[in-house]
Chains A and B, each alone.
Chain A
Amino acid sequence: MTDITSSSFVRQDLLAERPAPVKTTGFIGLMRTRLFNSPTNILLTILGALLLWFTIVPSVKFLMVDAVWSGQDRTACLTENAGFAVGACWPYIQAKLPQLIYGFYPEAERWRVNLTFLLAVVLLLPLLTPRLPAKGLNASLFFVAFPVVAFFLLHGGGIKGFGLSWIAGLLQLFDESIIGAGQALLNLSKTSAVAPLLWVVGSLIVLVGTAISWLIFPLTWLRDYVQTMGQPVWADFAITAAIVCLIAFVLGGGARTGGRALAASIATFIAVAIVIELMGLDRGGLPVVTTNLWGGLLVTLVVSVTGIVTSLPIGIALALGRRSTIPLIRIFSIAFIEFWRGVPLITVLFFATYMLPLFLPGNFTVDGLVRALIGIALFTGAYQAENVRGGLAAIPRGQGEAAAALGLSWWKTTSLIVLPQALRHVIPNLVNSFISLFKDTSLVSIVALFDLLGSLRASFSDPKWSTPSTAFTGFAFAGIIYFIFCFGMSRYSLFVEHRLNAHRRN
């Protein structure tokens, strides 16, 4: 024992405490490591502080400190009357708020707009919360039922028929157009050099058209018969419901497994009947408010929600078309996508406003808002197609091959296996497209629709409120609204991305 102690060194006294390491966390640590750790960094910090000082302080001063909060007209917001250099003129926003939100929507009918906003929020919130169940039902309510209900709420008016009359009318239109083309060829054959050929083709087309008109005769006869009854809408509704339920029953598997499909379609029709009855659509519905009275945030939201709802199916169809191996469909999809992606949205809106009416039959006028909506749907659809294509490309081939090995058809493979996975992959990209769509809705103000920005611009010209700070106040208000929507959507897309990549985190 003793020789061990003599040969080995054992410390007899404790070491003095070393000073604690420099703190690198908390505010002090942040200042030490990331703000003031070197001369250059100190300079940069001063630069950043100056930048903030010259932007944030004047903004806060303008919006809060120097602002005028109440008043009746412009005199309240003039420096002479207020006694100080006036910042934001908030009474101007208070006075113009109805115009900025509803446009010229009649005051007595504004509850309809509020109800629509409420419905949208009630349907949208559960759809956006990943934890809640019944996403399929929720999505179909929001993407299919809500637009229809919102149309009859906002626009008003009723219906004269139901599925039967619409289908009969559409088929009749198609048939007339075919016969018209045939007649045109027959007329041409009287003067042309290749007369016999044209005559043969023309007669053939007319013959086909006549055959179709005989084929659809029972349908048109039934429609005309229904229209003579006392309750045409309800009679039509009953017939359509019966036919659709029968088809659903047969396609669902007949007596063996068709019960589910039958129950679902009956439930859908009962819901539709309740909506028709509640809104009195068969009796003319709510008073009509034409779209030239719509304005402000209402138009912004209508355009963006319609764009979102319509562009997604267009995008999916185009993306599938672009990946298809059928030559004509692939070429058409590529050309269509590249065309709309290659031109600016404003020319698309000009196209929809000035060129589209020329392409439609002369007796057929399309509402200005609807024209803009068509343009925006086509434009955004092309962009969504590229997003969806990215998702489709990310799905391993094995998924489709496994589905084919199980004996699923192309449609079932696509709709049950490939698309759900692909869409889930690209939710962040889709939401980003929705953000740019929401921002782009401001462009409709150029084609004489009064969205939020258009209403704002119109309100500037009101002499009652013309003060030096009116324009800044208006832009501050509209900017805050736009920012809240866009920033909220971008945060949501980040949240979804985070969730989707949960398995990659470690």
Chain B
Amino acid sequence: MSTGARKPPPQIALKIRRILGGKAGWNGVAVQFAFAAVLGWIGYEIVSNARANLENQHIAAGFGFLRNNAGFDVNQTLIPYTGSDTFLRVFVVGLLNTLVVSVVGIVFATVIGFIVALCRLSPNWLLSRVGEIYVEVIRNLPLLFQILFWYLAVLAALPNPRQSISLLGITFISNRGLVIPRPVGESGLEPFLAMLALGIVGSLALRFYARRALFRQGRMVRIWPYVLGLLFGLPLVTMLVSGLPLSFEMPQLKGFNFAGGSRIIPEFVALTVALSTYTAAFIAEIVRAGILSVHKGQMEAGSSLGLSRGATLRLIVVPQAMRVIVPPLTNQYLNLTKNSSLAVAIGYPDLVSVFAGTSLSQTGQAIEIIAMTMGIYLLISLLTSAVMSVYGWRVSRSLGA
């Protein structure tokens, strides 16, 4: 007589109760109903009030205004734009400006942040103190304060274009912004770009092949001379054959201003400097914490296996530190993107400034415009956190294996 384990009773009623009301059971269901009623009531009040208020102010709700002419100029545009374009175009122009200042800021912030982190970790006492002072001062001052400081104090104190400060005779800084040489595409551009792309694809393929050889057969393949040749040699040879890909139009001082070259507006300069130095202080702390989080036994174990110091760093310390660094680093990138909205304080034409600022005051379509602006930022941050959860999932999987 075998006495196998009896099946547990199905307990359907219990499961339904659990799904509907959580641990609180039917009380939970009641709480949900009350909560839904309150939410519904608030929603109803909001909608009815908004409708009545819009009617009083003679504003037509809806997104129809996006097709109207904007009628104002924007002083930095990445895509062609004139005052007779629509508000939808203004939205796109502002969004692109936000993205460009964010990307440039992220690049500089990362570079400065890693440098400061290395300073703070340096065995040199003085240099680590310098890094600490930088981090403490920058982190304890509001970002808006720093943006205004760069814009109203530093950039305004620079000389006018005629006396502008020249860097190597090709770049000029003045209170009207930064003037840099403008790259102009020549006939050799297309073959050059094609060869560059080919080189990148070839290097990636080589790397894939080398890793396969290493993991499948345990064979070390030395690929770096070929990669160098592909990445630099191939474009160089193309350049010799089909001529220079780019030429630079140098800025020339003519009268009171510069002719030629491309001008970067001072708002952009101030915003980029402030955003990147501010975020760099936070990135420096993250990187420092990440590197300190790797136990020093890891380094010792690496050298006891006969790996060189560089190889230990590259193969053992950095991958483990990156696991700690990457999530908060992405968070800081996201913060920088959101903080770029402070551009509105100095008039850099980002999304908030031209769309939620100028367009809002011209059309009065507060609900639609602010919802669109918030929606874009929300979309960016939700996409980033989705990518980050995939990353976290992969990391935890590789740790578990």
Which of A's residues lie within 8 Å of B, judged by CB? 30, 34-35, 41, 44-45, 47-49, 51-52, 177-178, 180-181, 184, 324-330, 332, 338-339, 341-347, 350-351, 354-355, 357-362, 410, 435, 439-443, 445-446, 453, 457, 460, 468, 471-472, 475, 478-479, 482-483, 486-487, 490
Contact for B127 among A48, A355, A457, CB less than 8 A: A48
- A362 in contact with B378 (CB, 8 Å): no
**Whole-angstrom distance from the CB of A338 to the nearest CB of chain B?**
7
Q: Is the CB of B145 within 8 A of A478?
A: yes
- When chains A and B are docked, how far (Å) is the Cα of A273 from the Cα of B382? 51
A345 to B366 Cα, complex, angstroms: 17
Residues in A with CB closer than 8 Å to B19 are 327
* Contact indicator B356/A359 (Cβ below 8 Å): no
B126 A344 Cβ-Cβ under 8 A:
no
- In the assembled complex, the Cα of A104 lies from the Cα of B335 at a distance in Å of 34
Check A445–B126 contact: CB distance below 8 A: no
In the complex, chain A residues whose CB is within 8 Å of the CB of B44: 181
Is B127 in contact with A482, judged by CB distance below 8 angstroms? no
Mind listing 10 A-B residue pairs with CB under 8 Å? Answer: A41-B123, A52-B130, A325-B23, A343-B378, A350-B360, A440-B142, A446-B144, A446-B344, A475-B145, A482-B140
Q: Is there contact, CB below 8 Å, between B32 and A329?
A: yes
Q: How far is the CA of A297 from the CA of B130 in the complex (A)?
A: 31
A439 B32 Cβ-Cβ under 8 A: no
Question: Do B152 and A471 touch (CB < 8 A)?
Answer: yes
A90 to B182, CA, bound (A): 44
Tell me which residues from 321 to 347 in chain B have a Cβ below 8 Å from any Cβ of chain A: 338-339, 341-342, 344-345
5 new A-B pairs (CB below 8 Å) besides A347-B373, A358-B54, A440-B142?
Answer: A35-B126, A350-B352, A358-B49, A446-B144, A457-B148
**Nearest CB to that of B122 among chain A residues?**
A44
Q: Chain A's nearest CB lies how many Å from the CB of B15?
A: 13
Interface residues of B in 47-62 (CB under 8 A from A): 48-50, 52-54, 56
Q: Which residues of B contact A30 (CB under 8 A)?
A: 125
Most buried by B among A51, A343, A445, A487: A343
For the complex, give the distance between the alpha carbons of A45 and B345 in Å: 39
| B21 close to chain A: CB less than 8 A | yes
Whether B45 and A45, one on each chain, are in contact in the complex, defined by CB atoms closer than 8 angstroms, is no
The reply to whether A45 and B126 form a contact with Cβ atoms under 8 Å apart is yes
Nearest Cβ in chain A — how far from B337, in angstroms?
8
Q: Cα distance A483–B45 when bound, in Å?
A: 44
With A328-B35, A341-B381, A358-B367 already in contact, the answer to whether A487 and B22 are too (CB < 8 A) is no
Bound-state Cα–Cα, A202 to B96, Å: 49
What is the bound-complex CA distance between A326 and B123, given in angstroms? 53
Q: Give the interface centre of B45, B54, B129 by most chain A CB atoms within 10 Å.
A: B45
Tell me whether B191 is interfacial, beta carbon within 8 Å.
no
Chain B residues lying within 8 Å of A435, measured Cβ to Cβ, are: 140
B127/A362 in contact, CB under 8 A: no
Give Cα A475–Cα B154 distance, bound, in whole angstroms: 11
- In the bound complex, do residue B140 and residue A483 qualify as a contact, i.e. CB atoms below 8 Å apart? yes
Evaluate contact between A347 and B341: CB separation under 8 angstroms. Answer: yes
Residue in B closest to A446 when the chains form the complex, CB atoms: B345
